[in-house]
Structure 1
Amino acid sequence: MQNLKQPANTQDMDIQAFKTETISFQALDGYHLIGTLYTPKEHTKAQIVLSSATGVPQAFYRRFAEYAAQLGYQTFTFDYRGVSQSAPKTLKGFQMSYLDWGKFDLTAAIDYLAQDDLPLFLVGHSYGGQALGLTTNHHKVTAMYCFGTGAGWHGYMPLKEKIKVQVIWNIVFPPMVAAVGYLPWSKLNMGADLPKGVYSQWRKWCKNPTYFFADPEQHHLHDQYAQVTTPIYAVAALDDDWALPRSRYAFMQHYRHAPMNFINISADEFGLKKIGHMGYFRKGSEAIWDKMLNTFEDLLHP
């Protein structure tokens, strides 16, 4: 394994080692998106597209992107349509499908970076790991490393989380959405507000053990995901109640022709008190990032 030369912590980062640039680009269907490109000022060894979790703005991943850029990886973060910088002035009446993020938005982000002749890695968080199978250009991705990607069904969760999730889906969210015409998720400090179409499909699919693969209207996705042959490294933290190993397998099994590596991690393994569903990218998670980037190094130098 190649060992990365790394800063001791994010405070030790040399901000002169990379530059950032706001990028305006079009999704595959022409929708206007906003991203941020983190580029090493010296040698760029490879590229990374960061595919976000549902309702998580790209700014959440800034610390990771800066870290990867300092280590030679040009990294691209972006907001899906309807989220943060890529949202319209109001989400009320905004029409879209939850699948658009992968089909149109992530596909365009991959194309944007793939213009350069460098290896291209996809780092996915939750929905971001689901989205590779929705793209039309997954063959351009050298490998995907995803964190917390699962089927979303409450039955895979511990009892306390299961009850909490059912209350949110069935009691809390419906009247909120009915009142304003979208999911005002930010009111609960859970993420960015979400378009109604995303909320409706997400709620529907989370009722099934195999997520949208159980939806007769999405039957074509079985064959679509089977076309992916990109190597996948799927990480589940053992305290991530939303995407425990059973949930991860329930979704990832549909990438049935992709070389699959299942990786379980624990907080104490990385000197952390907790990882959960969001801790993969929080401050202090550099050791998790190093494990991933060392995998990329091995793929660059087999």
Structure 2
Amino acid sequence: MEVGAGDAASLDAVAGEAAAGALRHGDVSGQPVSFGCADGRVLHGHEFVVPSGVGQRGTVVIGSATGVLANYYHRYAAFLAAHGFAAVTFDYRGIGQSRGGSLRGQNQRWFEWGSADIDAVLAWALERSQGLPVNFVGHSFGGVGVGLAASASKLSRILTVGGQHAYWRDFSFRYKIDHAVRCLVTVPLVAVVGYFPAKRLGVMEDLPRGVALDWARSHKDFIAAAPAGSERDALRANQLAVTAPILAVAPHDDHYATMAAMERAVAYTPNSAARIIHLRPEDYGESAMGHFALFHSRYRHTFWEQSLGWLRDGSWA
């Protein structure tokens, strides 16, 4: 959903890798798994198991960006498994393998993706962790949605990559205009079609009505979009219960995950020690990176290795 021209090129490149062999990286392959949510919805994803002979370090659950298929992250997940972290990917309800039929009549919301979907996958991983740490890597919305999950209180570390919730005032100036134009298209189109037909427009995955409108109308206070009363109070309580240290990173040219956007995102979990780092493309031999590039396998020996240090022991080099 959140795609500029440069970002689209990065996403297409990674998607091409995924289509060419996303479920295998060296000796690691992904196995299909399902996750039952508290409300009865079933999600689908993959588990990348640590190969025999490699020391088990724990588990990493990967939370996707809005409108991005889980297989976008399979190369990274396989890399983590090859280095000792069992990795789990999944599609949110209404997306990809968890689409659940026609999106007409489905009205999933962002807060459900966090409180129901991310929570179900975290609970699944925690149950199987055998006492080893369970960490979370969240891309874009995933970096905010994790705080809505009750099970996030049991996480050991959190890494967010471009984590934010599309509050337009936090975007760079150019992307404020871009976002305004997209909203002018999104809201009436959703009203007519019943969901956001992103595939027909050539931009990522179709979105359920509620998620599309949450994206288009994102409030400066993320929780304000949730129903008032006990449900909203529970989401606030979940955010306050998160104590895992958070490392929030984004490329300096990520026009969505500006410093203001990342500061807003980590503020929702005030009981976590948070560190924010803007990455300079030139330090990675690049002239531009954007919102999606860091999950491309060309960063295997740079950013991916850096992320391992954080997930292992909280180091960053």
Q: Is residue 76 from structure 1 mapped to residue 88 from structure 2 by the alignment? A: yes
Q: Is residue 32 from structure 1 mapped to residue 47 from structure 2 by the alignment? A: no
Secondary structure (helix, strand or coil) at the match of 2:150 reads coil
Alignment coverage as a number of residue pairs: 287
| Residue type of the alignment partner of 1:269 | D
Matched residue, 1:165: 179
Matched residue, 1:110: 122
| Aligned counterparts of 2:214 and 2:170: Cα–Cα separation in 1 | 19
| Aligned counterparts of 1:225 and 1:79: Cα–Cα separation in 2 | 22
Which segments of 5 or more consecutive residues in structure 2 lack a partner in the other structure? 1-17
Secondary structure (helix, strand or coil) at the match of 2:250 reads strand
CA drift at 1:229: 1.0
CA drift at 1:128: 0.7
Q: Is residue 269 from structure 1 mapped to residue 283 from structure 2 by the alignment? A: yes
CA drift at 1:175: 3.0
Secondary structure (helix, strand or coil) at the match of 2:188 reads helix
Closer, same or farther: CA 60–252 of 1 in aligned 2, 3 Å:
same
What is the percentage of aligned positions where both structures have the same residue? 29
Matched residue, 2:149: 135
CA drift at 1:160: 1.7
TM-score, reference length from structure 1: 0.88
Matched residue, 2:74: 62
CA drift at 1:299: 4.5
CA drift at 1:130: 0.7
| Aligned counterparts of 2:120 and 2:159: Cα–Cα separation in 1 | 19
Secondary structure (helix, strand or coil) at the match of 1:99 reads helix
**Deviation digits for residues 51-99 of structure 1, max 9, x if unmatched?**
1111111011111111111112110000010001000221001132221
| Aligned counterparts of 2:257 and 2:46: Cα–Cα separation in 1 | 28
Q: Aligned to 2:212, which of 168, 186, 199?
A: 199
| RMSD of aligned alpha carbons | 2.3
Secondary structure (helix, strand or coil) at the match of 1:85 reads helix
Does the 8 Å CA contact 1:210/1:251 hold for their aligned counterparts?
no
| Aligned counterparts of 1:23 and 1:297: Cα–Cα separation in 2 | 25
Does the 8 Å CA contact 1:19/1:40 hold for their aligned counterparts?
no
Secondary structure (helix, strand or coil) at the match of 1:128 reads helix
| Aligned counterparts of 1:53 and 1:35: Cα–Cα separation in 2 | 15
| Residue type of the alignment partner of 1:176 | L
| Aligned counterparts of 2:194 and 2:158: Cα–Cα separation in 1 | 35
| Residue type of the alignment partner of 2:120 | A
